[in-house]
């Protein structure tokens, strides 16, 4: 076991992860879970990759809005677009959820699926974090990559269950996490199949269809997977219901929350953070038996070597 | 190859299926398709199991309505419920799509997911076909079961993409077809996660949320799988868009339609059938290069031995 999870320090947290995986994999034991039911779900933002200063997909939204601005001269005078074009995050924030929704719909809808996938793929290949200068896709957590490998090696099937956009996530989930496109559950815009005139295509409408957050996460899990997971890993109150749903099933279960405690190697935030708030989950973790992963204490390394 | 697809007669249809699977599996050939992209989608009603005299799930709808009737005395005077309780299929049909929708929503919504799955599972374990007296789950096509096995043995991943209800299909897809729950795409009612008071649960609302038919099939495929299939197999015009989407991609593709031509061993119907109408697909199959499977000519056996 010494070579397992090398970026995890030898703490009770690591021991708890090893013990859980061993218990459900031990044939004949009371806690054995058949491989088909060894379903593990992972949040993405703040769980598999970082989410500060804001969700990385938001930078994609801003860049898309800027690319589209030439075709929308009216945006120069209209919020939230004016603020987005100027890169004025405070100005965007002042427009609230309504403004954010407008930006997401304008940047994620109104194109074909093929065009959107190309845009997202190209963006992910070169977009860099504003503070670290690293590619966003390198701002993933090395200990979590090792945990995914460890679970796969022990017969688990892993899904991403994220509030982020399903089609955005699918552009890097396999390459970065080894999680194939069909195992990504996320928020989505409405789609429409069109075949009138020219090549058939799937069009993305400027209308959010499903929000895979909070109560939406168990719903997304049911729709896509149709099995209750036995392991759920998140980091914010947006994951509360996913952990609650997972850990209230019968048999052995594991709910885990990554607590961002490391202001030196990453960011430290919890109860009061606008992005990635962890309040209820932190207050209830002990009573619910959820594993709190303390980044500062439990991780020997945060990001992969450059 | 002699032992492959034993219930398929030695016709050009069987040869075309064998040739396609060989071509996409041959490493180094121009038509090779990597295993991850060997995605095959199958319609269910009329493709994997029979659909006459009406879709089998409709009998489940009627039985559910009868079970619920005691709690709904008003249904005795109200269409389409009155006709449904009496088993008067013509009376139900006279209420049109609107009536049908009411029955589906009343029978498939308004319970927890757990209760619905138990009801559907119990029904499927004992409900029998009104003409043959066989279990509905035995009214599956032996040649198609063999084709599913053959594709799996050649690295294909198989999904059901059906207009039927996703949660109904999931109660038998693995046992009968070897297709696990997470690889079922179907129509669905809206779901809601509830955890206030008592055990967390997923509630099924009396509201259709997604209809996985016609233009809905490519949308369902995109949402669940996120890959364009290379093989699509259907039998009715409800599958037209799924075949069109599949076969208009680049590289080698196969679209196939089961033509119900066997009035002795099964049922013969196409252009004018109310259930499972195959009109446009039949007219365009030759020009589109879709494989027409002629049940009477191509199948040595239709149903499994009792």
CB contact under 8 A, B193 and A167: no
Q: Distance between CA B34 and CA A157 in Å, rounded? A: 20
| Average pLDDT score over residue span B221-232 | 98
If you count residue pairs, one on A and one on B, with CB atoms under 8 Å apart, how many are there? 79
Buried b vs exposed e over A74-109: b needs ≥16 C-beta within 10 Å? Answer: ebeeebbbbbbbeeeeebbeebeeebbebbbbbbbb
CB contact under 8 A, A226 and B200: no
First and final C-alpha spacing in chain B = 26
pLDDT tens readout for residues A85-139 = 999 989 998 998 899 999 999 999 999 999 999 999 999 999 999 999 999 999 9
CB contact under 8 A, B245 and A193: yes
With bands split at pLDDT 50, 70 and 90, how would you rate the model's confidence at B164? very high
How far does A182 lie from chain B, in Å, by closest CA?
4
Q: Distance between CA B17 and CA B5 in Å, rounded? A: 10
pLDDT given at position B306: 87
pLDDT at A1 over 70: no
% pLDDT > 90, chain A: 95
How far does B57 lie from chain A, in Å, by closest CA?
19
With bands split at pLDDT 50, 70 and 90, how would you rate the model's confidence at B1? low
| Average pLDDT score over residue span B238-250 | 97
State both tokens at A4: 């397992």
CB contact under 8 A, B224 and A180: no
Residues of A with CB under 8 A from a CB of B: 36, 113, 166-167, 170, 180-182, 184, 188, 191-193, 195, 199-200, 202, 215-219, 222-227, 241, 244-245, 248
How far does A225 lie from chain B, in Å, by closest CA?
4
pLDDT at A222 over 80: yes
Chain B residue numbers with beta carbons less than 8 Å from the beta carbon of A193 are: 215-219, 241, 245
How far does B198 lie from chain A, in Å, by closest CA?
11
pLDDT tens readout for residues A172-201 = 999 999 999 999 999 999 999 999 877 999
CB contact under 8 A, B226 and A200: no
CB contact under 8 A, B219 and A167: no
pLDDT at B174 over 70: yes
First and final C-alpha spacing in chain A = 26
pLDDT given at position B229: 98
pLDDT given at position A296: 98
Least confident of A171-180, A228-237, B89-98, B264-273: B89-98
Omega before A62 cis (within 30°)?
Answer: no
State both tokens at B153: 């043995």
Burial class of A191 by CB neighbour count within 10 A (0 to 12, 13 to 18, 19+): buried
Residues of B with CB under 8 A from a CB of A: 36, 113, 166-167, 170, 180-182, 184, 188, 191-193, 195, 199-200, 202, 215-219, 222-227, 241, 244-245, 248
pLDDT given at position A197: 74
Mean pLDDT over the full length of chain B = 96
CB contact under 8 A, A223 and B188: yes
pLDDT tens readout for residues B4-56 = 999 999 999 999 999 999 999 999 999 999 999 999 999 999 999 999 999 99
| Average pLDDT score over residue span B213-240 | 98
- Other C-beta atoms within 10 Å of B73: how many? 9
pLDDT at B214 over 70: yes
Chain A residue numbers with beta carbons less than 8 Å from the beta carbon of B217 are: 193
pLDDT given at position B37: 97
pLDDT given at position A306: 87
Whether B281 and B233 have beta carbons less than 8 Å apart is answered as: no
pLDDT tens readout for residues B74-108 = 999 999 999 999 999 899 989 988 999 999 999 99
pLDDT given at position B2: 65
């Amino acid at each position: 076991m010494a070579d397992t999870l090398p970026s995890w320090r030898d703490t009770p947290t690591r021991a708890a992860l090893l013990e859980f995986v061993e218990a459900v994999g031990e044939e004949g034991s009371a806690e054995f879970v058949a491989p088909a039911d060894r379903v593990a779900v992972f949040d993405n933002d703040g769980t598999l990759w970082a989410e500060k200063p804001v969700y990385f997909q938001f930078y994609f939204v801003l860049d898309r809005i800027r690319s589209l601005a030439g075709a929308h001269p009216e945006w120069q005078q209209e919020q939230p677009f004016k603020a987005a074009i100027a890169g004025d995050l405070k100005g965007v924030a002042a427009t609230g959820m309504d403004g954010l929704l407008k930006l997401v719909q304008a940047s994620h809808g109104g194109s074909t699926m093929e065009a959107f996938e190309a845009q997202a793929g190209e963006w992910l290949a070169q977009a860099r974090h504003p503070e670290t200068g690293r590619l966003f896709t390198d701002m993933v957590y090395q200990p979590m990559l090792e945990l995914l490998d460890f679970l796969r090696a022990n017969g688990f099937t892993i899904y991403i269950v994220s509030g982020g956009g399903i089609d955005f996530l699918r552009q890097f989930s396999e390459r970065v996490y080894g999680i194939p496109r069909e195992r990504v559950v996320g928020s989505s815009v409405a789609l429409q199949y069109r075949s009138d005139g020219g090549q058939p295509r799937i069009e993305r409408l400027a209308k959010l269809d499903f929000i895979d957050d909070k109560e939406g996460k168990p719903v997304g899990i049911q729709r896509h997977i149709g099995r209750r997971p036995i392991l759920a890993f998140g980091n914010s109150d947006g994951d509360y219901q996913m952990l609650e749903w997972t850990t209230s099933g019968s048999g052995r279960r594991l709910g885990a929350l990554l607590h961002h405690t490391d202001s030196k190697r990453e960011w430290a935030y919890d109860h009061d953070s606008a992005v990635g708030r962890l309040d209820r989950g932190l207050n209830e973790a002990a009573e619910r038996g959820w594993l709190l992963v303390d980044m500062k204490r439990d991780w020997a390394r945060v990001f992969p070597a450059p």
